Amino acid sequence: MLEIERKFLVKTDAFKAEAFREHVIKQGYLNSNPERAVRVRIKDDSGFLTIKGKSDDTGTTRFEWEKEISREEAEALLKLCEPGVISKVRFLVKARQHTFEVDEFFEENQGLYLAEIELQSATEDFNKPDWLGEEVTGDPRYYNSQLSKNPFVLWK
Contact 129, 18 (CB under 8 A): yes
Q: How many CA atoms lie less than 13 Å away from 69 in the CB half-sphere?
A: 18
Q: List C-alpha distances in Å: 151 to 10, 31, 96, 102, 123.
A: 17, 17, 33, 18, 30
Quickly list DSSP for 93-144.
Answer: EEETTEEEEEEEE-GGGTT-EEEEEE-SSTT------TTEEEE-TT-GGGSH
Q: What share of the chain is helix, strand, coil (3-state, %, to 5)?
A: 15, 50, 35
Q: Which amino acid is at 137?
A: T
User: Max alpha carbon distance in the chain (Å)?
Assistant: 41
List the catalytic residues.
Answer: 29
